[in-house]
Amino acid sequence: MAEMENDVSPIETEQREYVEDGKNKLVVQCKFCGSKILDKKSSNYIAQEKDLPLMQQASNNDREVQNETIKEFYHVENMYTFENIGFTHTVDNHKYLSCADCDAGPVGYHDTNTRHSYVAISRIVHSK
Protein backbone atom coordinates (compact mmCIF):
# COMPACT_ATOMS: atom_id res chain seq x y z
CA MET A 1 0.00 0.00 0.00
CA ALA A 2 2.81 2.44 0.78
CA GLU A 3 4.00 2.27 -2.85
CA MET A 4 0.59 3.37 -4.16
CA GLU A 5 0.41 6.46 -1.96
CA ASN A 6 2.85 8.33 -4.24
CA ASP A 7 1.10 7.29 -7.46
CA VAL A 8 -1.18 9.73 -9.25
CA SER A 9 -4.79 8.60 -9.36
CA PRO A 10 -6.32 7.93 -12.80
CA ILE A 11 -8.59 10.97 -12.48
CA GLU A 12 -5.66 13.30 -11.79
CA THR A 13 -3.71 11.86 -14.73
CA GLU A 14 -6.63 12.38 -17.12
CA GLN A 15 -7.14 15.92 -15.91
CA ARG A 16 -3.49 16.83 -16.47
CA GLU A 17 -3.35 15.37 -19.97
CA TYR A 18 -6.81 16.00 -21.43
CA VAL A 19 -8.60 18.54 -19.27
CA GLU A 20 -7.99 22.26 -18.92
CA ASP A 21 -10.23 24.50 -16.81
CA GLY A 22 -12.67 21.60 -16.43
CA LYS A 23 -13.15 21.17 -20.21
CA ASN A 24 -11.73 18.83 -22.83
CA LYS A 25 -8.42 20.36 -23.82
CA LEU A 26 -8.12 18.40 -27.09
CA VAL A 27 -10.34 17.27 -29.96
CA VAL A 28 -12.25 14.07 -29.13
CA GLN A 29 -12.21 11.40 -31.86
CA CYS A 30 -13.43 7.86 -32.50
CA LYS A 31 -10.63 5.47 -31.64
CA PHE A 32 -11.55 3.18 -34.53
CA CYS A 33 -11.95 5.50 -37.53
CA GLY A 34 -10.64 8.86 -36.25
CA SER A 35 -13.87 10.73 -36.93
CA LYS A 36 -14.22 13.94 -34.86
CA ILE A 37 -16.82 13.62 -32.10
CA LEU A 38 -16.23 16.87 -30.16
CA ASP A 39 -14.28 20.08 -30.71
CA LYS A 40 -11.79 21.36 -28.14
CA LYS A 41 -13.33 22.89 -25.00
CA SER A 42 -16.86 21.82 -25.95
CA SER A 43 -17.59 19.53 -22.99
CA ASN A 44 -17.01 19.36 -19.25
CA TYR A 45 -14.99 16.69 -17.48
CA ILE A 46 -17.00 14.70 -14.94
CA ALA A 47 -16.04 11.80 -12.67
CA GLN A 48 -18.97 9.45 -12.15
CA GLU A 49 -19.55 5.71 -12.29
CA LYS A 50 -21.80 4.24 -14.95
CA ASP A 51 -22.10 0.74 -16.39
CA LEU A 52 -21.99 0.65 -20.18
CA PRO A 53 -22.22 -2.41 -22.44
CA LEU A 54 -18.83 -3.60 -23.68
CA MET A 55 -18.01 -2.37 -27.17
CA GLN A 56 -17.31 -5.96 -28.23
CA GLN A 57 -19.52 -8.57 -26.61
CA ALA A 58 -18.11 -12.07 -26.14
CA SER A 59 -20.35 -14.74 -27.56
CA ASN A 60 -22.37 -16.43 -24.86
CA ASN A 61 -25.40 -18.66 -24.89
CA ASP A 62 -27.27 -16.60 -22.29
CA ARG A 63 -27.40 -13.53 -24.57
CA GLU A 64 -26.72 -11.52 -21.44
CA VAL A 65 -25.21 -8.11 -22.16
CA GLN A 66 -21.74 -7.77 -20.69
CA ASN A 67 -21.04 -4.42 -19.02
CA GLU A 68 -18.04 -2.41 -17.93
CA THR A 69 -17.97 0.27 -15.23
CA ILE A 70 -16.72 3.58 -16.63
CA LYS A 71 -15.55 6.26 -14.21
CA GLU A 72 -14.66 9.29 -16.35
CA PHE A 73 -16.77 11.12 -18.90
CA TYR A 74 -17.10 14.28 -20.91
CA HIS A 75 -20.47 15.84 -20.11
CA VAL A 76 -22.27 17.43 -23.06
CA GLU A 77 -25.37 19.48 -22.21
CA ASN A 78 -26.66 20.04 -25.75
CA MET A 79 -26.76 17.21 -28.30
CA TYR A 80 -26.06 19.72 -31.09
CA THR A 81 -22.58 20.24 -29.63
CA PHE A 82 -21.48 16.94 -31.18
CA GLU A 83 -19.68 16.94 -34.51
CA ASN A 84 -20.39 13.33 -35.38
CA ILE A 85 -22.42 11.03 -33.13
CA GLY A 86 -25.22 8.50 -33.47
CA PHE A 87 -27.97 7.69 -30.96
CA THR A 88 -29.56 4.27 -30.42
CA HIS A 89 -33.18 3.57 -29.58
CA THR A 90 -34.12 4.27 -25.95
CA VAL A 91 -33.27 1.59 -23.39
CA ASP A 92 -34.26 2.30 -19.76
CA ASN A 93 -34.30 6.11 -20.19
CA HIS A 94 -30.93 6.07 -21.99
CA LYS A 95 -29.77 6.14 -25.56
CA TYR A 96 -26.28 4.86 -26.29
CA LEU A 97 -23.87 6.98 -28.31
CA SER A 98 -21.94 5.61 -31.27
CA CYS A 99 -19.65 6.99 -33.95
CA ALA A 100 -21.84 8.14 -36.83
CA ASP A 101 -19.18 7.16 -39.38
CA CYS A 102 -18.20 3.62 -38.35
CA ASP A 103 -20.99 2.75 -35.85
CA ALA A 104 -18.45 1.83 -33.12
CA GLY A 105 -19.98 2.04 -29.70
CA PRO A 106 -21.26 2.61 -27.29
CA VAL A 107 -18.85 5.46 -26.71
CA GLY A 108 -21.18 6.89 -24.09
CA TYR A 109 -24.82 7.48 -23.31
CA HIS A 110 -27.57 10.10 -23.51
CA ASP A 111 -29.96 10.54 -20.56
CA THR A 112 -33.45 11.08 -22.01
CA ASN A 113 -34.70 12.68 -18.77
CA THR A 114 -32.06 15.44 -18.58
CA ARG A 115 -31.21 15.44 -22.30
CA HIS A 116 -27.52 15.48 -21.36
CA SER A 117 -24.92 13.20 -22.94
CA TYR A 118 -21.82 11.57 -21.49
CA VAL A 119 -18.84 10.41 -23.57
CA ALA A 120 -16.64 7.74 -21.92
CA ILE A 121 -13.05 9.00 -21.91
CA SER A 122 -11.70 5.44 -22.02
CA ARG A 123 -13.56 4.79 -25.28
CA ILE A 124 -12.26 7.69 -27.36
CA VAL A 125 -8.90 9.20 -28.39
CA HIS A 126 -7.65 12.77 -28.25
CA SER A 127 -5.85 14.82 -30.91
CA LYS A 128 -4.75 18.40 -31.40
- Could you give the 3-state DSSP secondary structure of residue 109? strand
The reported pLDDT for the residue numbered 94 is: 95
Q: What are phi and psi of 14, to 5 degrees?
A: -60, -40
H/E stretch holding 18 reads helix 10-18
Q: Which residues contact 5 (CB under 8 A, 6 or more apart)?
A: none
Q: Which CATH number is 4-127's, of 1.20.120.350, 3.40.640.10, 3.40.50.720, 2.170.150.10? A: 2.170.150.10
Stretch among 1-10, 45-54, 92-101 having the lowest mean pLDDT: 1-10
55-101 pLDDT tens trace: 988 777 677 888 999 999 999 999 999 999 999 999 999 999 999 99
- Going edge to edge, which strands form the sheet with 23-24? 19-20, 23-24, 44-53, 67-76, 116-120, 108-111, 94-98, 86-87
Q: Can you give the pTM of this predicted structure?
A: 0.85
H/E stretch holding 23 reads strand 23-24
Q: For residue 8, name the pLDDT band (cuts at 50, 70, 90).
A: very low
